[in-house]
Amino acid sequence: MKVRKYNSIKLKLMVIYISVVLIVMALSGTFMLRQVREMEEERARERLRGFAVRVYNTIVLPNDRARFIDAPEWETMQSEYEIEVILMSELGVGIAPVGFVGARSNDRAISWAMSGQEGFSVGRVGMDLNNIEAEWLSFAMPVDHADGRFIINARMKTDDMNANLFELTRILILTVLVALVIIPIAWYFLADTLTRPIVAMSRHARAVAGGDLTKQIPVHSGDEIGVLANSVNFMTNEISQHLEQQKKQDEMRKEFVANVSHELRTPLTSIRTYTETLIDGALEDPKTAMAFLEIIDEEARRMSTLVTDLLELSRLDNKQASLELDIVDLLGLIRISIRQCQVLAEQTNQVIQLAGTEDACFILANAPRINQVISNILSNSIKYSPKGSTIHVSVESDENRHQVSIRDEGMGVPEEDLSRIFDRFYRVDKARSRALGGTGLGLAIAKEIMEAHGGTIHAASTPGIGTTMVLRFKREEGGVGV
C-alpha cells in the first residue's frame, strides 16, 4: 500500500512541530514582553524620582514659598528633561508652576503622596500642559519645607516606552515568521532521515512476505526506530531459523521413508526370488527346498522385526506410548536383561559380568521398556565383540542418580560415527550389521525410551579396544513392593 502524501507521518509530525514552536514562541514572547515592560517601568520610576528629588533640591528647598512658586526653573527643567513637574499642596491642590490649574486627584501616585508615601502609577490618562490627552507614567512624593508640607509630582508620557515595546513585539513576530519558513525546509530534510528507515522496513516486510528471508534492515540509530528495525531483523532471523529447522525435519522424514522402503524391499526381493525359484522347480528337491524356506522364514522374521520396531518408534514419536511408570529396582531389571541375553552370549562363548553396588537402585520407570533398552545394548555388545570376550556391566550411584555402564571389548565405533549411531537406520558397517540381522533402529529406540524417562544415553568408544554405553537415571527414594 502506498502512503498517501497528506496522510504521512512526516506531515503530521510537522504540524505538531509547528504548533509546538508557535506555542513556545507565544508563551516566551509574552513573558519577555512582560519582563521588559516591568524593567522599563522601573527605569522610568527611577528617572522620575531622580528628577523630583532634583527639583526639590534646586527649586523648593533653597527658597521660601513666595519665591519658589514662580521660580523660572520650573520651565527650564521641564523642557530640558521632557518631564512635567508640578508642586502641590499637601492636599493635592496645584501650586506651581503658576500657570498650572489641572487637578490630578485621580492619579494613584498622588493619592499615595497625600498619605505620606512615595507613589508611582502607570497608564493614567490625562491632559498635558498643552491640553493634549496622553497616557502617563507618574511619580509623586511628599516633601517637607519650612513653609509646610508639599507634594512634588513628576510625570512623563508612556509613548517612548510603548514605542520600545512595540519594536520588541515586531521583532518577536518577525522571528516567528522566519521560523515558520525555516522549519518546513529543515523539516523536509530531517524528516526524511526519520521516515527513510520506516520506508525501508516496509520494503523489507514485503520482501519477507515474498519469501526472501536473507535480507537485514540496516540499523543506523539507537532510537526507537532503530530498536524497531532491530526487532524486525531479529524476527526475520527467527522465522528463517524456524523454516530451516522445518526443512531439515522434512528432509529427515523423506530420508526415513526412503530407508524404510529400502529395508522392506530387500527382504521382499529375497523372498520373491526364492519363492519363484521354488515354483520354477526347486520344490522338487526337498533339501534345496528346505534351505530356501529357511531363508524365506528368516527374511519374513526380519521384516516382522522391522515393522515392530517402526511401530514402536512411531508410538514413541507420537508420545502415545503408554509409559506407565512405577518405582522399580534398576539392578533387578539389569539382572533380568542379562539372563535374557545369556543364551546369545553363550553361543559365542562370551561372558557378561555384573559389578558395582549390591543395593537396590530405585528409579521411576516402565520396566519392560528399560529392559528393552538394556537388552538392546547388551545384544549390540555381543554382536560387535569377538568370541570369548567379556562384557562388563556396572552400576554406580550418587545422591541424584543411578548410572549403568555397559562395556565391551569389541571392534568399537570410529570417532566420526559415534554421534550418529543413535540415528535411525544408521549402521557403521551396513553389510556386517545386516548380516547380523540388524536394522539400525535399536539405539534410536533406546534413545527415545531414555528421553521419555527423562534419562540420558551416551556412547564412548575406542576402535579396536571396545565400546562403553552409559545410561543415567534420576534416583528415586525407596521402592514399595517391587
- Residues in contact with ligand ATP by CB under 6 A are 376, 380-381, 384, 408, 410-413, 421, 426-429, 433, 438-444, 467
**Cβ-based nearer residue to Mg ion, 55 or 428:** 428
Compute the half-sphere exposure of residue 107: CA atoms within 13 Å on the CB side of its CA.
Answer: 32
The torsion angle over the Cα atoms of residues 365, 370, 371 and 377, rounded to 10 degrees, is -160
In 3D space, the residue among 392, 377, 402, 404 whose CA is nearest the CA of residue 327 turns out to be 402
- The β-bridge partners of 457 are 471
> What is the C-alpha separation between 372 and 457, in angstroms, rounded?
14
Kindly state the smallest distance separating residue 278's Cβ from ligand ATP, in Å. 28
Residues with Cβ within 8 Å of 185's Cβ and at least 6 positions away in sequence, in order, are none
| Contact between residue 58 and residue 65 where contact means Cβ atoms under 8 Å apart | no
Q: Which is nearer to Mg ion, 271 or 341 (CB)?
A: 341
Q: Which has the closest alpha carbon to 121: 112, 133, 130?
A: 112
Task: For the CB of residue 397, give the shortest distance to ligand ATP in the complex, in Å.
Answer: 24
Q: How far is the CB of 242 from Mg ion (least distance, A)?
A: 34
Q: How far apart are CA 452 and CA 366, in angstroms?
A: 10
CA dist list (Å): 210 to 204, 244, 250: 10, 16, 21
Closer Cβ to ligand ATP, 41 or 429, answer by number: 429
Do residues 429 and 368 make contact, with C-beta atoms less than 8 angstroms apart? no
Our CB check for ligand ATP shows the closer of 327 and 354 to be 354
Which partner, Mg ion, ligand ATP, none, binds residue 191 by CB below 5 to 8 Å per kind? none
> In the complex, which residue's CB is closest to ligand ATP?
442
User: Any idea how long the chain is?
Assistant: 482
Minimum CB separation from Mg ion for residue 257, in Å?
21
Q: What's the min distance (Å) between Cβ of 274 and ligand ATP?
A: 22
The least distance separating ligand ATP from the CB of residue 309, rounded to whole angstroms, comes to 6
Specify the residue for cell string 531479529.
234
Q: Do 115 and 23 touch, CB atoms closer than 8 A?
A: no
Instruction: CB nearer to ligand ATP: give 124 or 424.
Output: 424
The smaller minimum CB distance to ligand ATP, of residues 81 and 425, is found at 425
Q: At closest approach, how far in Å is the CB of 375 from Mg ion? A: 9
Smallest CA-to-CA distance from 326 within 366, 362, 289 is with 366
Residue closer to Mg ion, measured from CB, 229 or 469: 469
Q: Which is nearer to Mg ion, 288 or 372 (CB)?
A: 372
The rounded distance, in Å, linking the Cα atoms of 126 and 140 is: 15
CA distance 412 to 463: 4
Binding partner of residue 107 among ligand ATP, Mg ion, none, CB cut-off 5 to 8 Å per kind: none
Q: How far is the CB of 349 from ligand ATP (least distance, A)?
A: 17
CA–CA dist 406, 398 (Å, integer): 18
HSE, CB side, 13 Å, CA atoms: give it for residue 89.
7
Nearer to ligand ATP, 97 or 412 (CB): 412
Between 350 and 381, CB nearer to ligand ATP: 381
Is residue 335 within 8 A of residue 449, CB to CB? The reply is no
Q: 114 CB contacts (<8 Å, ≥6 apart)? A: 90, 91, 92, 142, 151
Task: Please state the closest distance from residue 289 (CB atom) to Mg ion, in A.
Answer: 32
Count of H-run helices and E-run strands, the chain: 12, 12
Helix, strand and coil percent figures for the chain, each rounded to 5: 55, 20, 25
Q: Which does 381 bind (CB under 5 to 8 A by kind): ligand ATP, Mg ion, none?
A: ligand ATP
Whose CB is nearest to Mg ion?
Answer: 442
Please report, as ranges, the residues that interact with Mg ion according to CB under 5 A. Answer: 380, 442
Q: How far is the CB of 234 from ligand ATP (least distance, A)?
A: 39
